Each structure stands twice: as C-alpha cells, then as structure tokens.
Amino acid sequence: MVEQHIASAFDRDLETIQAQIMKMGGLVEAAIIDSARALETRDEELAKQVRERDKAIDGLEEMINEEAARVIALRAPAAIDLRLVLSVMKIAGNLERIGDYAKNIAKRTGVLIQGQDSSESAAALRRMAREVELMLKDALDSYIQRDIELAADVIARDRDVDQMYNALFREFLTHMMEDPRNITPCMHLHFIAKNIERMGDHVTSISEELIYLVTGTRPEEDRPKADTTSSIPQEI
C-alpha cells in the first residue's frame, strides 16, 4: 500500500510538471509566430509584447526546474523514471532558449522598423519561423505521445530549416555587395535568420531527448547539418 501511494504521488508530480512543460511550449510557439509577424508587419507594439512575455517563459522554466529537483529529492526516482524527470528539465532549458531567440528577433524588429522596408525578406523569415513553430508543435506532441517516429521526423525536417537559412544568407550577402547602404539592415536580417535556425536546433534537441527517454539511447551525435554558410570562402 505504501509503495502504491508513493507511485501515485510520483505520477501526480509528473503530470503537474508535464502540464507546465506544455504551457511553456504554448507560450514559446506564440513567441515564434508573433516575433515573425511583428517583423513582417512592422508592428512595434507586438514586438514589445513578445519581449515582455519572455519573462513568463523564464518563470516557467524556473518553476519546472524547482519542481523537478523536489521530485528527485523526495521520490528518488531510478531508471526510466529518473530519465523522465531529467528530460523535463532539459526540454524546459531548450524551450527557454527558443524563447530568448524570439525575444532577440523582437529586439531587432524595433531597429529595422526605423529603416527601409524589408517586407520581402521578412515574409521569407516568417515562413522559416512558421516551419520551426510546426516542428516545435510536433516535438511536443511526440513527447506527450512518446512517439519516436514523429520525433525522428522533426529531426529530419531541421534540414529544411537549414536550407532556408542558407538561401537567405546568400540573398543578404548579395544585397550587401550590391549596395553598401544595405549592409546594416541585411546584417540585422541575417542575425534574425540565424536566430530562427538556432531555434530549429533546439527543437531538434527536444526530439532527441524524447528518443532517449523512450529507447535509452541517443541519436548519432554527428547529426547531418545542412547549414553550409561556414564553408563560404572568407574573401567573399
């Protein structure tokens, strides 16, 4: 009876933590979409809201980590139960970083609004952000459903995000070479594109965490990356 009571209490603790993870995930999804929309529509008020809402994301990460630490101290979980608690902490960390990238996009949006119209590039960045947001949604679904096939699909889709980043990088580079006046706005746009690409990497890490949780083994460390910008000659 005592063991059964402990198991039930542990299950309730996990349900509470996972509910917080899903709430945090929802806030991060909204931050991705709203930061990209603010950039495309030049909406400074929406960008400000994204920056302000990041505090709630940070607060949830702190709450999740504290609750997970409490569970480890009180319940002393082992084997897969311990992996589950640790995975929650790592997923919360990845979500917090994605939220930070969305906040960074919102910060740069305020600068870009003051300059020339970049709506065409902003639309491409919004499409890239939308792909990452859909990946995140599927990554969180795979976590709740313990669906390693969906998690593997999310990991594979990160290559599409890398390729979108490559295309935008070359586009911005071309614009800067054509006219020096384009350098400042293109540099801001490039950093935004890189932030979105890094979001995709953190979403991939969430999916890898789920695969480890279910199987006990991690995907290959040298995951193929389609970001080729580092190979571009320095003299360009």
Q: What is the pLDDT of residues 188-198, one digit of tens each?
A: 999 999 999 99
Are 128 and 159 in contact by the 8 Å Cβ rule? The answer is no
Q: What is the pLDDT of residue 113?
A: 82
CB neighbourhood size of 32 (10 A): 28
> How deeply is 12 buried, as exposed, middle or buried, from its count of CB atoms within 10 A (0-12, 13-18, 19+)?
exposed
Task: For residue 4, name the pLDDT band (cuts at 50, 70, 90).
Answer: very low
How does pLDDT run across 105-148, given as a tens digit for each residue?
A: 999 998 888 766 666 888 999 999 999 999 999 999 999 999 99
List for the chain the helix, strand, coil content (%; round to 5).
85, 0, 15
Q: Does position 221 have pLDDT exceeding 70, yes or no?
A: no
Is 1's pLDDT higher than 50?
Answer: no
**Architecture of the CATH domain 2-231:** Up-down Bundle (1.20)
194 burial type by CB count under 10 A (0-12 exposed, 13-18 middle, 19+ buried): middle
Amino acid 133 reads E
Q: Is the pLDDT of residue 153 over 90?
A: yes
Per-residue pLDDT, 188: 93
Q: Cα–Cα–Cα angle for 63, 154, 144, nearest 5°?
A: 45
> Mean of the per-residue pLDDT values for the chain?
89
Q: Over 80: is that where the pLDDT of 234 sits?
A: no
Q: pTM for this one?
A: 0.88
pLDDT above 60 for 231:
no
Which residue reads 């920056």 in tokens?
51
Query: What is the pLDDT averaged over residues 148-170?
Result: 96
Distance in angstroms (rounded) separating the CA atoms of residues 130 and 137: 11
Looking at residue 10, its pLDDT comes to: 80
